[in-house]
């Protein structure tokens, strides 16, 4: 039983991806299907979390659709992959972020979505939902009224 539980657990190591780029089908079929059939929604969820709620899921999804209409959606999405990598000190592998999103955007989105899940975030909840459940480990800074000196 303990052996089976250890197979289901994902060890999160700083500086390493928790899953490979092509682990779509072996890891989480629902995430794989979601990122393949609804890539703009998947991207929006990833972007909202990485932007800590500054960019909404809907706006990020619309931006990637708009950029895709002129052939640059992969570039826009790759910037968020870089942001994810920097946040968790992940290596740029197996090649550059732009190349990964250009040649296999659904695989990249699936890996990024899985990465957030394995690191304790639920992309379907968005930033606010993760923040309310305590998953983001951030605290709201105290309100300071302007003009108050101490």
Helices (H) and strands (E) in the chain, counts: 8, 0
Pairwise CA distance, residues 102 & 10, whole Å: 28
For the chain, give every domain's residue range. Answer: 18-132
Phi and psi at residue 29, to the nearest 5°: -60, -40
Are the C-beta atoms of 110 and 101 separated by less than 8 Å? no
- For the question of whether the overall pTM of this predicted structure is more than 0.85, the answer is no
Which one has a higher pLDDT value, 110 or 11? 110
As given in the structure block, the two tokens for residue 83 are: 């942001």
pLDDT tens for 28-69 read 788 889 989 999 999 999 999 999 999 999 999 999 999 999
Is the pLDDT reported for residue 11 higher than 80? Answer: no
pLDDT tens for 57-114 read 999 999 999 999 999 999 999 999 999 999 999 999 889 999 999 999 999 999 999 9
As given in the structure block, the two tokens for residue 135 are: 């998953």
As given in the structure block, the two tokens for residue 102 are: 């250009």
Q: Which of 45, 42, 39 has its CA nearest to residue 57?
A: 45
Is the pLDDT reported for residue 5 higher than 70? Answer: no
Is the pLDDT reported for residue 3 higher than 60? Answer: no
Are the C-beta atoms of 130 and 52 separated by less than 8 Å? no
Pairwise CA distance, residues 4 & 20, whole Å: 21
């Amino acid at each position: 039983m303990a052996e089976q539980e250890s197979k289901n657990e994902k060890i999160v190591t700083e500086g390493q991806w928790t899953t490979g780029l092509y682990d779509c089908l072996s890891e989480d079929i629902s995430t794989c299907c979601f990122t393949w059939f609804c890539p703009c929604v998947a991207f929006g969820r990833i972007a909202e979390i990485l932007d800590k709620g500054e960019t909404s899921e809907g706006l990020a999804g619309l931006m990637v659709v708009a950029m895709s209409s002129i052939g640059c959606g992969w570039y826009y999405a790759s910037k968020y992959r870089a942001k994810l990598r920097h946040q968790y000190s992940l290596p740029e592998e197996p090649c550059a972020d732009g190349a990964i999103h250009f040649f296999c955007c659904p695989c990249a989105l699936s890996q990024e979505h899985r990465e957030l899940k394995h690191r304790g975030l639920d992309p379907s909840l968005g930033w606010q939902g993760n923040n309310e459940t305590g998953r983001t480990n951030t605290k709201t800074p105290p309100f300071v009224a302007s003009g108050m000196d101490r």
